[in-house]
Amino acid sequence: MIIETRGDVIKLKGALVENQWPALRSAVALLLNDYPRGIIIDATGLTEVSEAGARTFLEMCNFVQAQNARIVVAAIPDQILTEIRKIPGVRSQLVTATTVEEARESLEAGGTPAVPTKRPKPFVLIPLLGAWQKGVEFAATEAASRHAELHLLYVLQIPRYLPLGEPVPEMEREAQKTLDEAEKLVKRRGVTIRKLTTRTRDLIEGVAKFAVDRNPNLLVVAYHKEEVARQGTRCVALETLCNEVPSDILIYCVSR
């Protein structure tokens, strides 16, 4: 078994007949430090896999999940993928792509991660849902007044029949298009903009979890008045955010 690293790619060659996770772990951890958006496992060189070897991927998936990171396995031969997915727990976690290029496009569509620093900069977070076109301008004004960054968040709602990290090219292209459109609306406001994505099964729960994890100085959500009024005094989305997110929340109701 040969393990090669180049850039954001780890290439596997030969027969995977033993659990190689102990050998892979340090390489994966080091590359994730350099490429926080995620890394790629190029499996084109794999010739066979045993049950013990397949457990390499189970331990890799568990590690990645614990690190809140993404790893995409690219170009894995069909017969080997079939054997790997026989291991309980792998099927629901293993993220695959047809080619290395497809895997990299998926990782790049994840946006620019917010890099933690010793003194984190204040930031205003706005998810691109509801009446976001109006809300993003309001959020930019708030960010400028607070000398804060503006973080634009696109939420990818992944179907439950797919692993959460699975490449979804059409959805990822739409995410990038929407983030670019939002950036153009406020690029002349003089604020630093970060474009981010998160993956979730439920849009509002995804926003809430992201906000809890990142702890923005202000969360701005924008909805059309009719949309809120339609649900009466009980607007589930706003209730969820207000109950779960400890940050200040500004709810912007927009007339059409």
Task: Return d(Cα 172, Cα 195) in angstroms, integer.
Answer: 13
Report which of 52, 47, 101 is spatially closest to residue 79, judged by C-alpha positions.
47
User: Worst-scoring range by mean pLDDT, 51-60, 85-94, 107-116, 162-171?
Assistant: 107-116
The CATH code that applies to domain 123-254 is 3.40.50.620
Q: What is the pLDDT of residue 112?
A: 42
- What pLDDT, on a 0 to 100 scale, did the predictor assign at position 114? 39
pLDDT at site 128: 96
What pLDDT digit, counting tens, does each position of 67-107 carry?
A: 777 888 999 988 888 888 888 777 667 888 888 888 888 88
Burial (CB < 10 A; 0-12, 13-18, 19+), residue 59, is: middle
Q: Give pLDDT, residue 38.
A: 84
Q: For the whole model, what pTM was predicted?
A: 0.59
Interval 102-124: pLDDT, tens: 888 888 776 444 333 345 689 99
* Mean pLDDT along residues 202-227: 89
Q: What is the pLDDT of residue 231?
A: 65
Question: What was the pLDDT predicted at 182?
Answer: 95
Residues 77-102: b if buried by 16+ CB within 10 A, e if exposed: eeebbebbeebeebeebbbbbeebeb
Q: Where does 2-108 sit in CATH, by number? A: 3.30.750.24
Query: Residue 232: what pLDDT?
Result: 56
Ranges of each domain in the chain: 2-108, 123-254
Q: Look at residue 135 in the predicted model and tell me its pLDDT.
A: 92
